[in-house]
Structure 1
Amino acid sequence: MAQTKLGDNTVNTSGNLPPVGATAPDFSLAATDLKDVSLKEYAGKNVILNIFPSIDTRVCAMSVREFNKRATGVKNTVVLSVSKDLPFAHKRFCAAEGIENVVMLSDFRNKSFSNNYGTEMTDGGMAGLHARAIVVIDPSGKVKHTELVPVIGQEPNYDAAIEALG
C-alpha cells in the first residue's frame, strides 16, 4: 500500500504502482461508448496513464486539458485518462472542453485497473476513487515512469511524464 494526502490527511491506497521496468498490467476499462478497452489495444505505442479521482474536480480537469495539449506533439503516443466517473461524464466533459487528443476511460465496471495499479484510495473522504497518479508505458509494454502525486490537490509532473518517453 502507498500513501498520498487529501488536504492535510494521509490517505492509503489499495496497493503500489507497478515498478519501473516491469511489464505494465493489462486492464479492462469502459470507453465513452461503453465498450471495454484493454491496454493490449495500444501495443506498440507509448502510453501515458493519467489517473485521477473525478473529472468534476478542478485539478483533474486541468490534468486532462494539459495532457490534451501536450499529446499532440508526441509521436506514437496515446494518453489514457482514467477515473471511476461514468463514461457519460467523460463524454460530456470532452464535448464541452473540445478534448480530442486524450482517450477517456472509466473504471466503474470492474476492478481490474484498481487491483492491478493499486491506485484506489481505501480511506478518507474520497475512499473508493483513484488517487492522482501517472504511469508511462513504452511501446514494448514496459513501465518507464510512475508518479503517485503526493497531494491529491496538486497537478502531476507533466514534464517528467513526457521526458520519460525519451
Structure 2
Amino acid sequence: MTQERTGVATLKGNPITLVGPELKKGDKAPDFQLNKSLVDVASLKDYAGKVKLVSVVPSIDTGVCDAQTRRFNEEAASLGDGVVVLTVSADLPFAQSRWCGAAGVDKIVMLSDYKDNHFGKAYGVLIQELKLDMRAIFVIDANDTIQYVEVLGEMTEHPDYEKALTAVRALA
C-alpha cells in the first residue's frame, strides 16, 4: 500500500498530499526510472560512483523552478567531475529540452518523471492532487546513501541552496 502524507506540504497555503515514504539522511537512495527522452531511461545506477545532487522541481516553466534550475546549473561546473546534478520534474522531455536550450542550461542532466511518477513515489515527493513532484533537494553520496534532504513545506518557496551545496562539497 502506498503511503500518503498529509499536513507536511502546501501550495500557496493550501494543503497537498505527498505520496511515498519520508526519506531521511542515512537512508539508502531508492532506485528510479526517469526519462531522458521519450524512449531513453535513466536509473540511479547510471550515476554510480558519483555524488548526486538531485534537484526536484514541480514544473520547469514556473519562476521558482526556473531560478532553482539555473542556480544549480551555474554551480555545477565548480562541483567537479565526481558530482552530477540531476534536475527532476514531471515535464515532458520535449519541454525540458526546449527550456534548457532557451535558458542556456547545459551543465546539468534533466530527467522526466512524467510517465508513471516512479521517482515521486519512491522519494516521497509525488503530489497526489497534481501528479507533479514537490520541490525538494536530495544529496546522495557515491555509495547511494542519502546525505541531505530538503522537502519544501511550501511549493512556491526556494530551497536552501547553500545548505545543499555545502552537503555536496563535503562529499566531493
TM-score (norm 2): 0.90
Q: Does 1:79 align with 2:85?
A: yes
Counterpart code for 2:98: R
SS of structure 2 residue aligned to 1:145: strand
Instruction: Find the partner of 2:146 among 131, 143, 146.
Output: 143
Mind listing any 5+ residue stretches in structure 2 that lack a counterpart? none
The match for 1:154 is: 157
- Note the residue ranges of structure 1 that are not aligned, 5 or more in a row: none
Q: Report SS of the residue matched to 1:160.
A: helix
Letter in 1 for 2:49: G
Aligned Cα root-mean-square deviation (Å): 1.3
Consecutive aligned runs of 4 or more in structure 1 exceeding 6 Å deviation:
none
Q: Tell me the CA shift for residue 115 of structure 1.
A: 1.9
One-letter amino acid of the structure 1 residue matched with residue 35 of structure 2: A
> Equivalent of 1:22, from 24, 27, 31?
27
Give the match for residue 31 of structure 1: 36
**1:28/1:110 contact within 8 Å kept:** no
1:32-90 residue CA offsets vs partner (Å, 9 max, x unmatched): 46400001010110101111110111101111100000111112111110011000000
Percent of aligned positions with the same letter in both sequences?
37
Distance in 2 (CA, whole Å) between partners of 1:97 and 1:88 is: 14
Equivalent residues in 2 for 1:16-165, closer than 5 Å: 16-32=21-37, 34-75=39-80, 76-123=82-129, 127-165=130-168
Is the 1:32–1:104 contact (alpha carbons within 8 Å) kept by the matching residues of 2? Answer: no
Q: CA deviation at 1:111?
A: 3.3
Q: Which position in structure 2 is the counterpart of 1:8?
A: 13
Alignment CA distance shift 1:33-1:68 (3 Å): farther
Task: Check the 8 A contact 1:84/1:130 in 2, yes or no.
Answer: yes
TM-score of the superposed pair, with normalisation by structure 1: 0.93
CA distance in 2, matches of 1:55, 1:36: 19
Relative distance call for 1:17 and 1:49 in structure 2 (3 A) is farther
The aligned length equals 163
Partner Cα distance (2:60, 2:40) in 1: 19
Deviation larger for 7-16 or 134-143: 7-16
